[in-house]
Structure 1
Amino acid sequence: MPLPKTSVAREPLHTRTIKVESFAREDGLWDLEAELVDLKSYDFPIRHGQIHKAGDPVHHMHLRITIDSDFTITDALAVYDAAPYGQDCASIAPAYRQLVGLNLLKQFRQRVKERLARSAGCTHLSELAQVLPTAAVQTMAGRRRSSGESEIHRTDKQPFHLDGCHALRLGGPVVKEFYPVWYRPDTQAGGS
């Protein structure tokens, strides 16, 4: 369901698009390719009397990571198509090799902040990296289903996604129906 129309007239200003695509590789690894594009809906002045035209990307960057079946990053590459300060922005791209070795399911977002915060990284690439854990989970979900690795009937280890959001809280109706072995009726939302 889309958001309802507003009752107040508005002027469009900014559009940010984030896109993530994932790929199974023939070597048994997976690539996630993330893209961020920022557009303005108006012209504005930039350096040396030039004008940045409406609809031309202010930011356009890409981040590719390769992961193994344990969600550990084995390779990372960042590239820029557009940035407000050109090569001064793009020169930070090699720093994103520091993602190699991180695990998307083990404090990944915090590790990105520790390694690439402020002037050690690019605000926009680091924000783009933040969407990768949930995209990776979606990537692997289909693989696990098709290989018969469904976590619905496991009893030896709680599936990692349980108690990770409101719908999958241990005391909720979804867990009760689909993961009954992990259902905890006395568990409140937001904690276990």
Structure 2
Amino acid sequence: MPLPSPAPRRKVHTRRVTCEGFRREDGHLDIEGHITDVKTYEVPNSFRDGIPAGEPIHDMWIRLTVDDDLNILEVETVTDAGPFEICPNITVNFQRLKGIRIGPGWRKKVLSALGGAEGCTHLVELLWPMATTAYQTLYGENARKRRESGEEEPKRNGPPPLLNSCHAFGESSPVVKDMWPEFYRDPA
């Protein structure tokens, strides 16, 4: 269901973020992110002699190649459009992500390596949905493979990692009662 009708308004800005996950022939995963920012009016800009309405102020890409443990093996970063001549110069710093694992502490590690003047706000922000895309790609792909092969879900010790991670997986939800009854807590 879409949002209710808004108050009268005019569009000013559009940010588009696209993240996609791919299984490579060599077994690794490529997680690609793309971000654009577009205004509905001309933006004064001395570097680009003005940025016309509808032309991206930011047009940036990141590709992370990760293994099945979500360790970053390769990083490719491109700034096709930015508001300043020096914007593309910072992409080399994103090589600092190599060797970092997408998982607990991800944001802290990224900000430690690329926060402030060491990175680009827009490219760093793109890494947040890319991390969840990596997770969705890996775990979705693994679940699909298990279903196709008839393999059972791997045994785990303790509660599932998703327990209490959101409303649907809250320990008192009907979803948990159905999926993991041993961890269900009656709200009464």
1: CA distance, partners of 2:160 / 2:100: 20
The match for 2:19 is 20
The match for 1:102 is 100
- Map 1:87-166 to 2 at 5 A: 88-148=86-146, 151=153, 154-166=155-167
Quote the offset at 1:155 in angstroms: 4.1
Give the partner amino acid of 1:169. G
Secondary structure, in 3 states, of the residue corresponding to 1:103? coil
Do the aligned residues in 2 keep the contact of 1:40 with 1:56 (CA within 8 Å)? Answer: yes
Q: TM-score of the superposition, structure 2-length normalised?
A: 0.89
Q: What RMSD, in angstroms, separates the aligned Cα atoms of the two structures?
A: 2.0
2: CA distance, partners of 1:176 / 1:49: 57
Quote the offset at 1:37 in angstroms: 0.4
Instruction: Establish whether residue 5 from structure 1 lines up as the match of residue 5 from structure 2.
Output: yes
1: CA distance, partners of 2:161 / 2:30: 21
Structure 1: 4+ residue segments shifted above 3 A:
none
The farther-off stretch of 122-131 and 94-103 is 94-103
The farther-off stretch of 46-55 and 14-23 is 46-55
2: CA distance, partners of 1:81 / 1:48: 14
The farther-off stretch of 107-116 and 55-64 is 107-116
The farther-off stretch of 168-177 and 32-41 is 168-177
The number of equivalent residue pairs is: 183
Quote the offset at 1:143 in angstroms: 1.6
Consecutive unaligned residues of structure 1, counting only runs of 5 or more, are 187-192
The match for 2:182 is 181
Quote the offset at 1:48 in angstroms: 6.8
Quote the offset at 1:121 in angstroms: 0.5
Quote the offset at 1:72 in angstroms: 1.2
**Bigger relative contact order (CA 8 A; separation at least 6):** 2
1: CA distance, partners of 2:79 / 2:48: 23
Quote the offset at 1:158 in angstroms: 3.4
2: CA distance, partners of 1:68 / 1:49: 39
2: CA distance, partners of 1:141 / 1:49: 43
Q: TM-score of the superposition, structure 1-length normalised?
A: 0.87
**Residue deviations 1:53-108 (CA, integer Å, cap 9, x gap):** 0000000000110111111111111111100003x011000111111111111211
Give the partner amino acid of 1:181. E
Consecutive unaligned residues of structure 2, counting only runs of 5 or more, are none
Secondary structure, in 3 states, of the residue corresponding to 1:131? helix
The farther-off stretch of 142-151 and 21-30 is 142-151
1: CA distance, partners of 2:41 / 2:92: 32
In 2 relative to 1, CA 16–48 (structure 1 residues): closer, same or farther, beyond 3 Å?
closer
2: CA distance, partners of 1:27 / 1:49: 41
